[in-house]
Amino acid sequence: MKKFPKNFLWGASSSAYQFEGAINEGGKVPSIMDKFDERKSYPKGITGFKVASDHYNHWKEDVALMAEMGFKSYRFSISWPRIIKNIKGDINPEGIKFYRDLIDELIKYNIEPIVTIFHFDTPSFIEEIGGLDSSEFSNIFELYSKVLFENYGSKVNYWLTINELNMFAFVGQIIGVISEKSKSTKWQIMHNLNVAQAKAIRLCKKMLPNAKIGPAPNISSVYANSNKPQDHLAKLNFDQMRNWIFLDIVCRGEYGTWFKNFLKLINEEIIITNEEKEILKNSKPDFIAFNYYSTMTVEYASSKDSKNSLNNLGDQQSGFIIPGIGKTVKNKNLEATQFGWEIDSIGFRNTLREVYDRYQLPIMITENGIGARDVLTDDKKIHDDYRIEYYQKHIRAMSEAIADGVEMIGYMPWSAIDLVSTHEGISKRYGFVYVNRDEFDEKDMRRIRKDSFFWYKDLIEKNGENI
């Protein structure tokens, strides 16, 4: 095992719409996420994002808890609809102030703010130009990024562009980031997002030459279900589709031949202008951030094998079938969480290795973690030993990847404090800190330190040497 670097950024993550609540406070305008209850695909019987963990009104206390754990960094997203009021780009000063205060508070405790520009909560006013389907989207996104760079650029050293751009394409409907009214193909939307990302990178480099900026997709190794050559081919194809096309476009500046052939195979076309090609070629990131939860296992699917289900309603790793290419299957060698996500810490090492070998850029982990139905005991404790075990294994795997030669900047698992899952409510908890509320009973929102809180605090204090 290799030691973690001296200035390693230990911390954790959150996203605005899943954590802040206060959807109508402080001059915020609506986002696509505020309308979760109008979405056909949003499951019944679970809470939405109106109140969430009420971080908007608990932010000082929340930052103090992060400081108590010894965080060196905190990755959070800025809510676009809290900052910009309308399609003309008018700014909401209260929103600007909220994040300025938050950033100042983090810096007060020597916590490095790591800012995601856009994490799923598209402002509703974007519908006026046709939503993510519109080729205008990237310009509006660039203007919003400019406001962030102007206001926070002197204090924020690390920027992340768009959270899980690749998951917009795959599970966009279930997460709710792709409007049910959307007319474009998901690949056109993905392209529009790639252009928006490139414009933000280009602008960041121009306005903030000392800052660092990177993408934050969800990446995972893909395994072939057997050693049959056609299963290996399915693995290579899914690797491309799920991972590499999204990192190639940002790190290498173009879509590879595989992707162009794939679009023909599924009878889809995307419009790419010459100007966009130029921007994509000249907007390279400084590092790669990625979210890792699990690996994917696939086998070949013949062209007669059921119908195309790229419109996945499963999760990040399962439920995909592309006739002639492959389909996802369960990995019998792995255990799963209470919510059915396979747990694969060796896969984490493998994924880190693959990403580093391919792009040779420093890596930051911006999500990793276990969603579980934590139980508050009578003596007001949460004994989440399963979470400690999960982190132990994954952090050990990360240290082994460092020993393998992977250059790592930081680790910010999901999530700092409990928040609302994308589509499985507040009962699917991820935090080191418990928020005392249920799906529909908001109780007192009290913050309670879980056992994992004390474990992580100790690990950070020792810079991971006790792992």
Interface residues with ligand BG6 (CB under 6 A) are 15, 18, 163-164, 167, 218, 291, 367, 371, 414, 421-424, 428
Partners of 11 in the beta sheet? 73
Please report how close the Cβ of residue 366 comes to ligand BG6 at its closest, in angstroms: 8
Nearest to 414, CA basis, from 4, 14, 7: 14
Q: Which two three-digit tokens encode residue 325?
A: 């290419």
Specify the residue, 189 or 224, whose C-beta has the smaller distance to ligand BG6. Answer: 189
Q: Which two tokens stand for residue 422?
A: 């994308």
220 near 293, Cβ under 8 Å? yes
- Taking the C-alpha atoms of residue 417 and residue 433, their distance in angstroms, rounded to an integer, is 5
Whichever of 225 and 351 has its CB closer to ligand BG6, that residue is 351
Between 152 and 170, name the residue whose CB sits nearer to ligand BG6: 170
Which sign, positive or negative, has the C-alpha torsion 159, 161, 167, 173? positive
d(CA 122, CA 181): 14
**How far apart are CB 423 and ligand BG6 at their closest, in Å?**
6
Is residue 389 part of the annotated active site? The answer reads no
Of 188 and 291, the one with the shorter C-beta distance to ligand BG6 is: 291
> Between β-strands 288-291 and 73-77, what pairing exists: parallel, antiparallel or unpaired?
unpaired
How many Å apart are CA 410 and CA 11, to the nearest integer? 8
Distance CA 145, CA 324 (A): 40
Compare residues 151 and 421 and give the one whose CB is closer to ligand BG6: 421
Nearer CB in complex with ligand BG6: 367/418: 367
- Using CA atoms, how far apart are residues 6 and 39, in angstroms rounded to an integer? 46
Task: Give yes or no for a contact between 250 and 190, defined as CB atoms under 8 angstroms apart.
Answer: no
Min separation Cβ 282 and ligand BG6, Å: 28
Annotated catalytic residue 164? yes
Burial class of residue 117, CB neighbours in 10 A (0-12, 13-18, 19+): buried
From the candidates 112, 299, 342, 367, give the one annotated as an active-site residue: 367
Run of H or E residues at 364: strand 363-367
d(CA 138, CA 142): 6
Shortest Å distance, C-beta 257 to ligand BG6: 29
Torsion of the alpha carbons at 188, 190, 191 and 194, rounded to the nearest 10: 160
Please say which residue, 176 or 464, places its beta carbon nearer to ligand BG6. Answer: 176
Active-site residue (options: 20, 112, 164, 400): 164
Could you tell me where the DSSP H helices lie in 176-244?
186-207, 229-238
For helices 345-359 and 385-404, the axis angle rounded to 10 degrees is 30
Question: Minimum distance from CB of 86 to ligand BG6 (Å)?
Answer: 26
Residue nearest ligand BG6, Cβ-based? 421
Least Å distance, CB 443 to ligand BG6, is 21
Residue 341 C-beta: closest distance to ligand BG6, Å: 8
In Å, how far are 88, 235, 285 from 129, measured between CA atoms?
11, 38, 28
The nearer residue to ligand BG6, 34 or 164, going by C-beta atoms, is 164
Instruction: Please measure the distance between the N-terminal and C-terminal CA atoms of the chain and give it in whole angstroms.
Output: 10
Contact 103, 152 (CB under 8 A): yes
Shortest CB 371 distance to ligand BG6, Å: 5
Catalytically active residues are 164, 367
